[in-house]
Amino acid sequence: MICPVCKYDMIVVEYQNIELDYCNNCKGVWFDSGELELLLKSQGLEEPKAFFDGILNSQEAASPEKKRNCPVCGHKMKKTTIGGQPEILIDICRDKHGLWFDGGEVAQLIRRLAGEHPPKHDSREQVISFLEEVFEAPE
Ligand SMILES: [Zn+2]
Ligand SMILES: [Zn+2]
């Protein structure tokens, strides 16, 4: 898959049988809806459809950041925030193909590790926690 930011070929990173597409150049991460479904199901959380609807119905984030195109369908994605403190700015495909986390956002996730871990029953927090775990170990 091609990185929506810098157009490099992304590499597949597997963790707990869930595959993510990772850009080695800009450090961004694509979380495909199919993989998201596996994660939510493995945790007994809500359906991915409800997960996407919840995020898509939330407010668009005002951000100076450029809009990203979905690496699956090429359409412009919606910018919004998920998570509590701090909020994480993400891009989400309106056709529910997946979520994009910019490299800086992933770094933000990792910094959260030093802080408290949020409750695991919240599916958005679960997604964030999962990414924290994947990128916890430095290369
Ligand atoms: Zn990239
Ligand atoms: Zn799409």
- Comparing C-alpha atoms, which of 73, 129, 121, 122 is closest to residue 96? 73
Nearest to 22 by CA among 102, 88, 78: 102
For helices 48-56 and 33-42, the axis angle rounded to 10 degrees is 120
Ligand nearest to the Cα of 77, by number: 2
- Residues 108 and 21: beta-carbon distance below 8 Å: no
Query: Residue 115 pLDDT > 80, yes or no?
Result: no
Tokens 């949020």 correspond to 118
Q: Which ligand is nearest to the CA of 3?
A: 1
Ligand 2 mean position, distance from CA 73 (Å): 4
Q: How far apart are CA 1 and CA 138, in angstroms?
A: 23
Which residues fall inside 5 Å of ion ligand 2, going by CB? 70, 72-73, 93, 95, 97
CA angle 77–78–79, rounded 5-degree value: 120
| pTM, rounded to two decimals | 0.82
The average pLDDT across 72-99 equals 90
28 has a pLDDT exceeding 60: yes
Q: How far is the CA of 114 from the centre of ligand 1 (A)?
A: 26
> Who wins on pLDDT, 96 or 113?
96
Between 105 and 57, where is the model more confident?
Answer: 57
Q: Where are the alpha helices (DSSP H) in 43-91?
A: 48-56
